[in-house]
Amino acid sequence: MKKCMVFLLLALLLGLKSVGADSYQHWITFYEERANKSMVETKHSLTRLEMSDIYGALVGNKILPNDVYRLSTGVVYKIPQPSLFLEYIERCVKVARPSATTAQLVFEAISTSERTQWGNDISVRVRNYYYSSLNKKVQFNDNYSGADEGVWVLVIDGTPTIKCDCGNPLERIGEMVKATPPKQDPPPPPPPPPTDDNNQAPKKVLKVNKSVQDLGKPNQDPRPQRGEIKIRIGDVVISLGILTALILLAKHLLGHSDDPDLPDQGIDPPPNPGNTNTGGPGIDPPPNGG
């Protein structure tokens, strides 16, 4: 009886192990092409460039379920669940790098990741996502660590994100503790914008500083300023006053010479050279030559 119980227990354990193995489906299955064109499943460790090429094909909807494809490096692979694989790859990459909000940024995060072997230097715990063919859904191993097996992974910003042997997405659990950077003095304020003719500051600044900027510049307004009007009127008044005084002085002088009350100076007027009167007093007429 005891032997039967032990036998049944061993059979049950072997059956559960077989079911568990059958339910675990790799996201990426690698193949080796033989000389007779047959495909044999094999092992391969992805590089970051190979994984970024696969992600680009997934984003472009170029991978169909259960079809076999070849990378530029010659690696032959198959992805049974391409849409789910794309979803969980992007999910885990965005946890490792929250700024990767677009497909292009996710692609850059994968292509610039660090390919390293999991050792004791990686203390991050992650969830290892895989597809269960038995349950027809995505499941995960919580608090997974590949340090014991020395698993090769793609690390993004310190977080193991993709297993290189099967493509399993790895999602970080909890928040990473990062060292606080040393405090730095704030940067100096930027210099004021130039105000030359080729690169002028905004109009509001120019209006405020107009009186300062216009110092030493010629007045470009053809209309005279108020101060200039006062000066020109004064010049005109002075000129008119001087002119009036000269006119009055001239009239006074001319009027004084014609006054009949002035005394006689005793000066006879000069003789008239054209006078033919011979009867003048004291002067004999010249003798007649004829």
Domain-located, residue 289: no
- Please report the DSSP string for 58-100 in residue order: HHTT---TT-EEE-TTS-EEE-S-HHHHHHHHHHHHHHH-TT-
Model confidence at 193, in pLDDT bands (50, 70, 90)? very low
The structural domain count of the chain equals: 1
Contact between 168 and 24 (Cβ < 8 Å):
no
Question: Could you give phi then psi for residue 246, rounded to 5 degrees?
Answer: -65, -40
pLDDT tens for residues 83-132?
A: 999 999 999 999 999 999 999 999 999 999 999 999 888 888 899 999 99
Alpha-carbon separation of residue 186 from 74, 189, 190 (angstroms): 52, 9, 12
pLDDT at 234: 62
pLDDT at site 12: 46
Q: Which residues pair with 170 in a beta bridge?
A: 128
Residue 255 lies in a domain: no
Q: Is residue 221 part of a domain?
A: no
Can you tell me the mean pLDDT for 221-240?
56
Residues 134-163: pLDDT tens digits?
999 999 999 999 888 889 999 999 999 999
Q: Do residues 150 and 160 lie in contact, with contact meaning Cβ atoms separated by under 8 Å?
A: no
Is 199 part of any domain?
Answer: no
pLDDT top residue among 284 and 199: 284
Domain of residue 49, residue span: 22-172
Does residue 284 lie within any of the structural domains?
Answer: no
pLDDT at 17: 42
Would you state the pLDDT for residue 202? 32
Asked whether residue 68 is assigned to any structural domain, the reply reads: yes
Is the predicted pLDDT of residue 205 greater than 50, yes or no? no
pLDDT at 247: 85
Helices (H), the chain: 2-23, 48-59, 82-96, 103-111, 203-208, 210-213, 226-257
Tokens at residue 17, please?
A: 């192990």
Q: List the end-to-end C-alpha distance of the chain, in Å, as a whole number.
A: 207
Residues 160-192 have pLDDT tens digits of 999 999 999 999 997 544 433 444 444 445 444
| Percent of the chain whose pLDDT exceeds 70 | 58
**Confidence check: pLDDT of 285 > 70:** no
When mean pLDDT is compared over 26-40, 155-169, 214-228, 232-246, the highest value belongs to 155-169
Whether residue 238 lies inside any domain: the answer is no
In the predicted model, what is the mean pLDDT of the chain?
Answer: 73
**Inside any domain, residue 227:** no
CB 167 within 8 A of CB 85: yes
